[in-house]
Amino acid sequence: MSATRLSTWRTTARRKVARDEGQTSGFAEIAVLATPPPSPFDGVEIIAGSVTVRLPKSTATKRIKDVARHLARQG
């Protein structure tokens, strides 16, 4: 969402509240997070520094080991 659009909505709501005296604007409180909240994941997750690799539960054990080893060598 652009800052301009939000500003326009807020200005419009404030003018309406001023006209309707005593009514609320109808805006909900929001929070902007620096990083998105973690999403649930049902599988294998390998984290190496800033890299996260997600693999399905059906991934072969050998493949998981290979990916983990490769990431460890890159680190």
Distance CA 56, CA 17 (A): 52
pLDDT in tens, 50-62: 788 889 999 999 9
* pLDDT computed for residue 73 by the predictor: 81
Say yes or no: 26 and 43 in one domain: no
> How many folded domains does the chain comprise?
2
Residues 47-58 as b/e (b if ≥16 CB within 10 A, e otherwise) read eeeeeeeeeeee
Nearest to 49 by CA among 69, 72, 26: 72
**Residue reference for tokens 């059906």:** 58
pLDDT in tens, 5-35: 778 887 887 787 667 666 555 666 666 777 8
* pLDDT computed for residue 14 by the predictor: 77
* Domain span including residue 58: 38-75
Say yes or no: 42 and 74 in one domain: yes
* pLDDT computed for residue 23 by the predictor: 59
* pLDDT computed for residue 28 by the predictor: 60
| 46, HSE (Cβ side, Cα atoms, 13 Å) | 18
Say yes or no: 43 and 58 in one domain: yes
* pLDDT computed for residue 9 by the predictor: 80
